[in-house]
A and B are shown apart, each in its own frame.
Chain A
Amino acid sequence: MNPIKLAFTYLRIGVLNEMQYRINFFIQLLQSFISVATGLIGLSLVFGQVTTLAGWSRPELLAVMGVHLLMGGVIRSIIQPNMERLMDDVRNGTLDFALTKPADAQTLVSVREFRFWQLVDVIVGMVVIGIAFVQLKGTLGILQLLGFLAALIMGGVMLYCVWLMVTSISFWVIRVHEISNLFEGLYAAGRWPVGIYPDWLRTGLTFLVPVAFAVTVPAEALTNRLSGTSLLFALGMTLLFVILSRGLWRLGLSNYSGASS
C-alpha cells in the first residue's frame, strides 16, 4: 500500500466528516483571533519599552508569531491528534488492530486522525506572515521562499519525531498524557525567537524539543538571516531525529504486548 495514497484516503474521509460540524470552524476562528490578539498585545508591550529584541525588529517578530501560529496549526491538526490516539490505543490494547494491518505501522498510526478545522490556524498564520512581510517592505526571492519552505517542512518533521518518541514511551509507561501538556508549554516558548532565552533554555528548545528549528529557523529564512550552513545543520538534525524516533518506535513496538493477555 502506497503510504501517500493511504494518508490521502484518511485525509479525505477526515475532512468530509469534519465538514458536518461547521460550528467547530467558528470556534476555531475565534480561538485563532484570540491568540493573534494576545500575541499582538505582547508585541506592543515589548516594543513600548525597546525598539529591537535580541536583534529582531517589530515586523520581524510578527513573522515569528505567524510561523508559530502556522506550525501550531499543523501540530494540532495532524501530529497531536494522531499521537494522542496512539497513546489511547496502547493503553486500551486497540493498537493490536493497527499492527495486524498490511501497512507500515508507523505510517498508519501517523495518518489516522486529521482535525480539519485546526487548519484555520495555518491560514491565519500565513496571513500574519504576509502582513509582517509587507511591513518589512522586503522582497521575497525564490531562494528565500524555498529556504523558508524547506525550514518549515524540516521543523514540522522534527516536531513529529519528538512527539513520536515521547509517545513511544507509552509502550513502557502506560500513562503519558501529561506529556502532551508539557509539550504545549514548551511550544508556547517558541512564540519568541529562541535567541532571547538563556543558554540552557535555548539548548533545550533546540535539541530536546526542536522549537528553534520549527519556528525560529523558518522565521530566520523569511527575514533573510538564515545561512546555508544553518539550513544544512537543520537537515542533519532532521535526519538524526527521524532515525532516532524510528528506532525508539520499533523498540517500543517490540516491547508491546497488549494491555491484556
Chain B
Amino acid sequence: MTPTISVSKLSKHYKVPEREGGMKAAVISLFNRKYRTVKAVDDISFSIEPGEVVGFLGPNGAGKTTTLKVLSGLLHPTSGAVNVLGYEPTKRSHDYLRQVALVMGNRNQLSWDLPAIDSFELQRAIYGIPVPEFKKTRDDFIDLLELKDLVNKPIRNLSLGERMKMEIVGALLHRPKVLFLDEPTIGLDVTMQRRIRAFIKEYNQRWGATVLLTSHYMADVEALCKRVIVIHHGRTLFDGELSTLVTQFSSFKTLGVTLPNPEVDLSQYGEVLTRDGARVTLRVAKSKTSQVTANLLSDLQVDDLTVEDTPIDDVIDSVFTLNEEIK
C-alpha cells in the first residue's frame, strides 16, 4: 500500500531579521539588516498510511505547525520531498486542495458576521460540492455535533467551543481524505474537547480519512492516536506506537501512600512529590517499585497504597528534558 503522506528529509529554514533592543540598533538595522537562520524543521522524515490517525507532538516552536503548513501547500520546503495523495502540495493544484483540509484551533475561517449556515454555503460554492451531497453531509455533521439551534446565529454570538465545532463542520464539508488538525481543541473545556475528539474519530472511521493532529492535550492524543511522532527543535525524537513511547521513556512510577501518622518522613523511599495531610505521593524508579512497596508495607503502618504509571504528560516532558540533557 502506498502511504498517504510521505515526507522525506524535509527542512524548512526561515531567515528572520535580528536586532538588539534600543533606538540606535533600530536605526542601524534600517540600513544594515542582519539575518539569522531559524531551522523550524530540520531533516524530518516520516510516512503515514491511509486511514491512520497520527499525533504530532512537541513543545511550542518545535516545528509542528510549519510541517503542517508545508503539507497543506502553504510553505515551500527549503529542501526535502513531500508527497500527499500522490501530489506535491507546494503546487497547490486544485485537485489536491479539494481532498485535504487544514483546521487551526487558534484561527477562524468562518466569517464573523455571517451565520454558520451561510458560511457553509460559501464553502459549498468554493469546493463545488453537489447540492444533495452537501446537504446530507452538512446535516449529518450538525446532528453529530449537536449544533442544530446555532447554525442561524452569527458566529460572533457563539461561544468559543460552539465556534470551534462550526469551524470543524465548515472545514470538513467537502469530505477531505486527509485532515491536518493544528490544536483543534485549544482553549476548550473538557466536555467540548471530548465531543470534538469523538467527532474526529467518527469522521476517521466513517470515511477512512487520514489524520495528522497536533495537540497539547495528551487526552486528545491518547483517545485518537495509536501512533505518535515527537519532534523537538525541528528534529524527530520518536516515531512509533504511543504505548512504546510510554514504556521507553517512563522509567518511574507514582506511589500514593496514606498513613495514619502523617509525621513520618518518607524521603528515604523515593522522591516525595506531594504531601496532603495523611496522603503522600512518591516517585519511584520503575525497577525498584516492587521492592519499595514491600519495604513500605513491612516498615510502616499503611492505610492505603496505590501504584500508578506516570501520567502521559510527564512522559512527554521527560522525553524533551532527556533530549536537552543529551545536547
Which A1-40 residues have a C-beta within 8 angstroms of B? 1, 5-6, 9-10, 13, 16-17
Q: Does B57 contact A (CB under 8 A)?
A: no
Question: Which residue of the partner chain, among B40, B66, B72, B98, contacts A102 with CB atoms under 8 Å?
Answer: B98
Residues of A near B242 (CB, < 8 A) are: none
Chain A residues touching B, range: 20 to 34
The CA-CA distance from A101 to B125 in the complex, in Å, is 11
Interface residue A97 (Cβ < 8 Å from any Cβ of B): yes
User: How distant is A250 from chain B, measured CB to nearest CB, in Å?
Assistant: 12
Cβ of B153 to closest chain A Cβ, rounded Å: 12
B126, A96: Cβ atoms closer than 8 Å: no
Chain B residues, Cβ within 8 Å of A94: 107-109
Q: Indicate if the CB atoms of B121 and A100 lie closer than 8 Å.
A: no
> How far, in whole Å, are A261 and B60 apart by their CA atoms in the complex?
10
Q: Shortest distance in angstroms between B31's beta carbon and chain A's nearest beta carbon?
A: 16
Which residue of the partner chain B has the closest CB to A13? B118
Tell me if A237 counts as interface (CB < 8 A to partner B).
no
Determine if B75 is an interface residue (Cβ-Cβ < 8 Å). Answer: yes
| B135 in the interface (beta carbon within 8 A) | no
Verify if B14 is at the interface (C-beta below 8 Å from A): yes
Does A261 contact B72, Cβ atoms closer than 8 Å? no
Give the complex CA separation of A261 and B65 in angstroms.
6
Does B114 count as interface, using CB distance less than 8 angstroms?
yes
Contact A102 B97 (CB under 8 A): yes
What's the interface size class on B, roughly? 20 to 34
Tell yes or no: A232 within 8 A of B by CB: no
Give a binary string over B241-266; 1 marks a CB under 8 Å from any A CB, 0 the rest.
00000000000000000000000000
Q: Using A100-B102, A102-B95, A257-B14 as known contacts, say yes or no to A92 and B107 having CB atoms under 8 A apart.
A: yes
Query: Cα distance A92–B114 when bound, in Å?
Result: 19
The residue from A16, A96, A108 contacting B104, defined by CB atoms under 8 A apart: A96
- A158 CA to B277 CA in the complex, in Å? 76
User: If the complex has contacts A13-B122, A261-B14, are A100 and B108 also in contact, measured as CB distance less than 8 A?
Assistant: no
**CB-nearest residue of chain A to B73:** A100
Cα distance A258–B75 in the bound complex, in angstroms: 9
Interface centre among A9, A10, A100 (most CB of B within 10 A): A100
Question: A6 vs B124: C-alpha distance in the bound complex, in angstroms?
Answer: 10
Query: Which residues of B are found within 8 Å of A96, using beta-carbon distances?
Result: 69, 72, 74, 102, 104, 107
Question: Which of A17, A102, A254, A260 has the most CB atoms of chain B within a 10 A radius of its CB?
Answer: A102
Do A261 and B97 touch (CB < 8 A)? Answer: no
By a CB distance below 8 angstroms, the chain A residues around B69 are 96, 258
Distance of A176 Cα from B187 Cα, bound (Å): 31
The verdict on B94 contacting chain A, using a C-beta distance below 8 Å, is: yes
> Could you pull out 19 A-B pairs where Cβ atoms are within 8 angstroms?
A1-B94, A1-B125, A9-B121, A13-B114, A13-B118, A13-B122, A17-B118, A96-B74, A96-B102, A97-B102, A100-B72, A100-B73, A100-B97, A101-B127, A102-B94, A102-B128, A108-B126, A258-B69, A261-B61
Closest 6 CB pairs between A and B? A102-B94, A97-B109, A9-B125, A102-B97, A102-B98, A13-B118
Q: Told that A102-B98, A102-B127, A258-B75 touch, could you supply 8 new A-B pairs with CB distance under 8 A? A: A16-B118, A96-B72, A96-B104, A97-B102, A100-B73, A102-B97, A261-B61, A261-B63
B interface list, Cβ under 8 A from A:
14, 38, 40, 61, 63, 65-66, 69, 72-76, 92, 94-95, 97-98, 100-102, 104, 107-109, 113-114, 118, 121-122, 125-128
Which of A's residues lie within 8 Å of B, judged by CB?
Answer: 1, 5-6, 9-10, 13, 16-17, 92-94, 96-97, 99-103, 108, 254, 257-258, 260-261
